Each structure stands twice: as structure tokens, then as C-alpha cells.
Amino acid sequence: MKIIYITRLFSGIEKSFLSNNWPPSGVPTIYKMIEELDRLCDMCFIFTAKDSGAGYQSIWNAKLDKTIKIDELNHKLSVLAGINYFPSILGRKLRIILREFRHFFKIFFKIVRYKPDIIYCDHANIFHCSIVARLFTGTPVVFRVMGVNKFMRNVSEGMPGLIYSLYRWAYRAPFRLVLCTQDGSGVELWIKNSIHKDVWVKKLINGVDSPVLSVVKDDRIIKLSNKLTILFVGKLESYKGCVEFVKAIILLLNNNTSNIHALIIGFGTQYNLLKKITSKNNNFTFIEHLSHDQILAVHKKCDIYVSMNHLGNLSNANLEAINSNDCMIIPEPQFDYGIDIITEKLLGNSVTYVPINNAEKLSKSLHKLTQSKGKRDLFSDAISKQKLKFLWSWDERIKAEVELLKKLL
């Protein structure tokens, strides 16, 4: 197969390219697929630099396009420059528009020259993807969706405005396949409202790595061995529920539960706020970055895992918690938006559910679990059995996606 693979330049991949260090941190559904396609196919990889924005910080400042050669990959990788390609005097908004036009024409002429069997494109490049699907009707175009966010939901619900109308037009393109990550974000409702009924749609849950026998090496974590530790892993953004998590822990500590400690692994725009809220409290440990194998090892050391993600709770971090048999607390389903309906179906009674944006109820649920090791063990045992019904390895997950691409031919 000859495939053009187009995706945004994710932050973890940025760091990997800048350091020539593979694999990247984060986005395993991207880099593992890249590795497999690089091994199996004749590939043209294109990464589009999208620059910093709300909830996303880019460190890619190149003014020109770059060709990257990673030692572990056979094919070279092309990176299309972001707004720095254009003079700053033009202003950010105009440079973003010019960036998108330039990216499209670079992609268009690459398709014309390369003549691929399949064009694979992610949501960050939706307008390029939708135009290409309408122009190159003889070539299968795969639209890759990694979950649904609030903006996408607003588009699908008919929010007025030019930009929303443009996205609705883009989503209705004649894609050959729309491939969605099943992350609990309500992709079913979004697909129903956004994608043409004749388009083939597949939803795949992400994979998990095999459990490792790593030993915790970080002294900040080792010193917590005598504490009842509550773990939070993820970006420190509002939609992740990190603020309500911290507030719930503070409420919990007010009930004379001094032996409890919250371990927060991650970084984001809410980091400074959270540090300020907890500045007078010694029961919190923040670790901005931790290697993947160390995070897996931490799961084995912690007593309770909490995710308050407002947008869906079958994320990579949560799947790893499930695979580690953690005693978990996650949000109740949000039926109006289709969020976590599938999550509840898959997990059943093997976890504790609480409503989002409710630190008091989260604190009460935490209190019940901290007071009973027996309850924690029951939940851990329940999830160890429940996960066998739906979890699969990354090898199985990536193989399934490759097989879908083969079927397009």
C-alpha cells in the first residue's frame, strides 16, 4: 500500500523530533500506527505544525518546512511549518489563515505527485481532508477522529456562525472511512449528527501495554509508601476535573484523615492555580513529567485512582489504570451529550461513579473508600475480571486498524 499519512505535530512528537528520540511521549495511537505503517507500507508522512492555542503549547518554532530522519524509522518525515513561516507583522489570525492555505496546497501537490492508494488525515487537518475527499474521489480518504471535544459537539448540535457551518460542511465530505477512538466522549451521537449516513464508520478503543515489573525509582513517590495514596494522572486542564479533584482532597483532609496523600502527575494551564490552592498543605505531591514505565509502576503503589475527565473516561491514562486493577472513581455518564454511556456499559459496577463538578460528593466517595481496605480490594478484584471483556493490547489494536485500511483496497 502507498499511503499519505497526515497528522498534526503533537507536543510529544515535537519533543521527539527535536531530540531525535523515539518513541515519543504520549499519543501512542499515533506513534504506534506510524511504526507499523512505516514497517509495512510505502509511506509519505506529513506533520502539520499548528502552533500554540487554547489548552495546547507548541515548542516548534521552525520558520521553514523540515525533513526529519528518525533512526528507528525507515521513512523520512516531513514537517510543514506553522505561522512562523510568515512575518509576524501580519498578525496571528491572518498568519493562521495563510498557514492553513499553504498546508493545503503542499498536501494537494504531494498527493498529485505521490499518487497514493489511501489518504489518511486527522481532525486537525479536517478542511484539507474534506476538500481532498471531494477532489480525489477515486482514492479512499480516511478521516481519523480521536474523540469528541466541546467545539465538535457544538458543531454537530447546529451552533450558528460561519466557522460552525464550515465545519459541518467539512464533516459531510464523502470519506471512505471515519475511524474514531472510542474514548467515552460520545462519538456515537457526534457521528449521528455530523457524518453522512453512507460513510463507513468504525470505533476502536485504544490498547494497553503489557504490565511491567518496574520498580518506583522517584524519591518523591518512594517516601509515600506509608501513606494512603490517591492518584491523579493527566493534563492539568479544567476539563480534566483537576481543580475539583484537589478541592475534594482538601475536604477529605478536613475530616482528620492526615495519613492520606494526593499524587498528581501531569502539567497544564491549571498547574500554578493548583499549586497555589495547595501551597499550605503538605498532603499533595506534584510531578510534572514521569516516564511511562514509572507511571505504570506507580499504579501498583497507589490505593485509589481518580479521573474526573468531563469529556470521556476511556482515555489512555484510564485504560492503564483499569489494566492495573486500580480501585477507581470516575464521573457518572452525561446522557445529554452521550458522554461515558459506553464507559458505564463496559465497566459496570467495577468502579465508583460521582457527578462532575461536585467536589463534595467526590470527597464523600473518597472518604468511604479510604475507610475500608476491604471495599478497595473488592473494586480492584471486580475490575480485574471486568477488563477481560473489552481490553486489548496495543499490538491487537494497531493490527485492527491496519486491517481496516486493507479493506479499503
Look up cell 474534506; give the residue: 130
Q: How much is the pTM?
A: 0.92
Arithmetic mean of pLDDT over the chain: 94
| 76: number of Cβ within 10 Å | 12
Lowest mean pLDDT among 53-67, 95-109, 362-376: 53-67
Closest to 358 (Cα-Cα) out of 334, 341, 381: 334
Question: Comparing 2-207+394-407 with 219-389, is the CATH topology the same?
Answer: yes
pLDDT for 258 equals: 72
Domain 2-207+394-407 sits in CATH at 3.40.50.2000
**CA 156/CA 172 separation, integer angstroms:** 11
3-class secondary-structure state, position 382: helix
Strands (DSSP E) contained in 307-374 are 328-331, 352-354
CA dist 381 to 187, 325, 369, Å?
30, 7, 14
3-class secondary-structure state, position 3: strand
pLDDT for 11 equals: 86
Mean pLDDT value of segment 243-248: 96
Closest to 99 (Cα-Cα) out of 60, 156, 134: 60
Higher pLDDT, 209 or 6: 6
**CA 262/CA 240 separation, integer angstroms:** 16
Model confidence over 260-314: pLDDT tens digits? 999 999 998 999 999 999 998 899 999 998 888 889 889 988 999 999 999 999 9
Mean pLDDT value of segment 101-106: 98
- Residue 73 pLDDT grade (very low, low, confident, very high; cuts 50, 70, 90): very high
3-class secondary-structure state, position 393: strand
8 A C-beta contact, residue 362 and residue 230? no
Return the percentage of the chain with pLDDT > 90, whole number: 85
Mean pLDDT value of segment 235-255: 94
Q: Please state the length of the chain.
A: 409
- Residue 79 pLDDT grade (very low, low, confident, very high; cuts 50, 70, 90): very high
Provide CB contacts within 8 A for 339, sequence distance 6+: 184, 185, 186, 310, 311, 312, 333
Q: CB-based burial of residue 84 (10 Å sphere; 0-12 exposed, 13-18 middle, 19+ buried)?
A: middle
C-alpha grid cell, residue 157: 448540535
**Which CATH number does the domain 219-389 belong to among 3.40.50.300, 3.40.50.2000, 3.90.1150.10, 3.40.50.2300?**
3.40.50.2000
- Residue 256 pLDDT grade (very low, low, confident, very high; cuts 50, 70, 90): low
8 A C-beta contact, residue 382 and residue 350? yes
List for the chain the helix, strand, coil content (%; round to 5). 45, 20, 35
pLDDT for 218 equals: 81
Domain map of the chain by residue range? 2-207+394-407, 219-389
pLDDT for 384 equals: 97
Model confidence over 8-21: pLDDT tens digits? 999 889 999 999 88
CA dist 9 to 27, 132, 172, Å?
11, 20, 25
